[in-house]
Amino acid sequence: MTSEISKGDAALDNKDYVLAIAHFSKALLSTQAPTWLLKRATAYHRLGQFEHALADANSAVLVALGRGKRELIADAYFRRGIVLHGMKQYGNSRMCFHWTRQYNEKLNGLSMWIAKVTADYDAAGGDEAECNAVTIKEVPDKIEPLPPSSTLVLNGEEISSPMTISAGKKVMDSTTTSTSNVRHEWYQSQNAVTVEILAKNIPIGTTDIKIMKTSLEVSFPIGTSQQTYSLHINPLFAEIDSTKSTFRVATHKIEVILQKSKYGLKWSALEATKSQNVSVSSEATMIPPLDVMCDKSSSKPPVYPTSSKSGPKNWDTLVQDENDDDNDGPDAFFKTLYKNADPDTKRAMMKSFQESNGTSLSTQWSDVSSRTFETVPPQGVEAKKWGD
């Protein structure tokens, strides 16, 4: 079974998640190893099969608890929390990360995910929001296998899974691909609004994108289902500079960057309501400039704190890499978190980061404002004062 796991790992690295599931599933027929369950959960998650991913993560928790190994238990709770975050169950996700910390507080990536789910928890409405309710148990109930929607065939053997593979090559079940599986999201900075459309197998050559001064249109055919996905936003919340706006099409994501005509204008939605004028009044909310982060006497874009020897980084000059691996890249996450944060959250991030010399980061100003952060170096590293 080791060879199946190696093949599954290779497929996972190559982002061939369907093939990875096939190999991990074959290995799991012999042994329900928690690490193998977590690998398959990761593949399911990246395919958007959240229910199957959660079932595997819950199974991994049960097996790991039975074996009594703290690191395995922490890994299982961690994956469970990531999957629940993808399902927008922020209260349940945050609780899983709390349990993770009880078993391994130094787990790689844990601090980043705690900060991420805390920000999403607050943005969703805090304790009053339905998605923030805690409804899960620390020890999951016995997991019943989910009914497969089709079968995997790998080297002549049938393996339960929601996709279909024949002779080791993936053949997507076209009945599972529809417009309901396509979603879009957006975020903004002072000078641009970014719209992302997430789907599987986007046909790069037949995607139609029209960016106009007051509208955006995106359409593309979906697989072999003879359906067409269309996104029409007309009118946009405010006018844009269509000549400076750009887009990028990949097989799993379309990214459209709309350059704002009015720098600093904060959009409250993508589309203007009927009562709004496309030409937004001068009294509209403006995104405050990053006074703490940049020199007012210059027109340079904002820089962010860093402990790098090369000095502060200007994120606006860096190329944003493709990242569909659960948003695990901390640089990309913290850039987006800071960009979309309110002034108090930015102050909290600045103060905690600077006082701790880059070893701590908090987003809660009510907590940060009243205390001083000490330098807490990683395990095995000794903190020394300047000149020692």
Q: pLDDT tens, 42-95?
A: 999 998 889 999 999 999 999 999 888 899 999 999 999 999 999 999 999 999
Domains and CATH numbers, the chain: 32-132 (1.25.40.10), 179-259 (2.60.40.790), 290-388 (no CATH)
CA separation for the pair 316, 298 (Å, rounded): 15
With residue 259 as reference, give the H or E element that holds it: strand 253-259
Which position has the token pair 């029409």?
A: 232
Please give the average per-residue pLDDT across 160-170, as a whole number.
36
Give the three-class secondary structure for 353.
helix
- Separation in Å, CA 291 to CA 260, 298, 307: 20, 11, 20
pLDDT in tens, 335-354: 777 777 788 888 888 888 88
pLDDT in tens, 258-285: 999 999 899 988 988 755 544 444 445 5
CA separation for the pair 341, 108 (Å, rounded): 24
HSE (side-chain half, CA atoms, 13 Å) at 10: 7
Please give the average per-residue pLDDT across 87-113, as a whole number.
93
Counts for the chain of helices (H) and strands (E), in that order: 10, 11
Q: Higher confidence at residue 328 or residue 139?
A: 139
Confidence of residue 217 (pLDDT cuts 50, 70, 90): very high
What's the mean per-residue pLDDT of the chain? 77
